[in-house]
Structure 1
Amino acid sequence: MKSSSPSTPSPGADTDSTRLQGERLKPSVKKPSSFYMKQMRAGLAAAGYVKHETWVLPENRSLLKQMEKQLRQPILAGSFMSENFMSAGTNWNIDRLFTALQALDEVVSKDITLSLVQGSESSIKLEMNDFGGLPIYIAVVGEQIIVDTVLVDAESINDVATFNDAVLRSREMFPLSSIGIETMPNGQVVYNMFGALSSDSSLTNIVTEVKTLVDNVQRASEAFERFFN
């Protein structure tokens, strides 16, 4: 991701960049996505919830997730209402997008903890508290918005060749999301799950991208669990 300013970095830019890189590396070093998924499943089981597999049309997946949260309440009251989010109108920058996300019901209710990771390559960090604190990052890169998270460290894979083959055959399993390999500045190799959309997308579409990524990370962690040490 490139800095939006072509000017010479200030004396503190290296420090900011180092801090940003360190922040991005934390979940990959000690807590891969499989850890958060296990935490989430353990928490739900301890609370008395049961898992029930449901088959729906792909376009109804986001609605099902909204219904799931309602059905976790002791009594179901009222009707299911879709969320209305404003449209961007113009290209987002990281500060405008952060401000817009602060108004989301999930952020206000603390279901999502939102923070702005400052630096020469600023990004937005969303900690998905309903999913064990799973960290999702959003960055505005030119004409694109990138939404990503670390799926697993390469060192945590017990059979890299077989895992890579399984990943390459999984395209239809994870709509709107892709899995790629990235080498971090410290040389660590990780598998990222990510999605991309235009920087002039509506806030509705951005939120959908985030929720879809979270859903796909959960499904990928379950589908590929046999490969994780």
Structure 2
Amino acid sequence: MKSSSPSSPQAGPDTDSASRKGERLKPPAKKPSSFYMKQMRAGLAAAGYVKHETWVLPENRSLLKQMEKQLRQPILAGSFMSENFMSAGTNWNIDRLFTALQALDEVVSNDITLSLVQGSESSIKLEMNDFGGLPIYIAVVGEQIIVDTVLVDVESISDVTAFNDAVLRSREMFPLSSIGIESMPNGQVVYNMFGALSSDSSLTNIVTEVKTLVDNVQRASEAFERFFN
């Protein structure tokens, strides 16, 4: 769904707007996504859980995540039910989207901590508490909704040239997501992972984009771990 650009490791559907969003979306990066993934994996291992790779159809990812939560319980009870989310119907703005996300079960149950980040253009911050507090940011930029997170800062890469080559060869590994380079307001240069969709997308599709990004961050953290200091 996204095309590569020779000017960056991997470009999204609107590279210019995506590359400019840093000033609107995020404060200066403090910890890379790989840190949160290591925290999550360490916590799950300490609790006695084991990793098991599963292959499913893309549309069943959200259902699999619900099943995974139930399978972490000592006794499996009840049936697996996919959640129903409202459709947008019209273009989202940041306030309407924030209100809609507040009603999600994951937010109500505190699996996700939701906050509104004020700035020249407001954005929504989602802290994924099941993933060590991994921060995901959502912004409505014109006719697009941008969903992104910092993957790793350049200073934490042991071999930037080799890492860039690996990223360029990874397009098929991360459905719906792209990896790009951007400069933060404080001058720090980072690799971020992001996805984009239309601002009139249904809430179901927006939530799917968020969950897919989280899944892809996990994959990227594992696939590129050898490059991280």
Smaller-chain TM-score bracket: 0.7 to 0.9
Bigger relative contact order (CA 8 A; separation at least 6): 2
Q: CA deviation at 1:192?
A: 0.5
Give yes or no for contact 1:87–1:204 (8 Å, CA) kept in 2.
yes
Normalized against structure 2, the TM-score is what?
0.87
Q: CA deviation at 1:57?
A: 3.0
Give yes or no for contact 1:176–1:212 (8 Å, CA) kept in 2.
yes
Aligned length: 229
Unaligned 5+ runs, structure 2: none
Give yes or no for contact 2:158–2:227 (8 Å, CA) kept in 1.
yes
Give yes or no for contact 1:21–1:185 (8 Å, CA) kept in 2.
no
Change (3 A) 1:17 1:55: closer
Matched position secondary structure for 1:193: strand
Give yes or no for contact 2:147–2:195 (8 Å, CA) kept in 1.
yes
Give yes or no for contact 1:17–1:120 (8 Å, CA) kept in 2.
no
Give yes or no for contact 2:37–2:131 (8 Å, CA) kept in 1.
yes
- Using the TM superposition, name which of 186-195 and 62-71 deviates more: 62-71
Give yes or no for contact 1:16–1:120 (8 Å, CA) kept in 2.
no
1:143-196 per-position Cα deviation (integer Å, ceiling 9, x unaligned): 000000000001110010110011011011000000000011222110000000
Give yes or no for contact 1:193–1:217 (8 Å, CA) kept in 2.
yes
Give yes or no for contact 1:127–1:136 (8 Å, CA) kept in 2.
yes
Q: CA deviation at 1:133?
A: 0.2
Q: CA deviation at 1:213?
A: 0.3
Normalized against structure 1, the TM-score is what?
0.87
Q: CA deviation at 1:47?
A: 1.1
Matched position secondary structure for 1:28: coil
What RMSD in Å do the two structures reach over aligned CA positions? Answer: 7.6
Change (3 A) 1:6 1:120: farther
Change (3 A) 1:7 1:226: closer
Q: CA deviation at 1:13?
A: 29
Change (3 A) 1:76 1:182: same
Unaligned 5+ runs, structure 1: none
- Percentage identity across aligned positions? 93
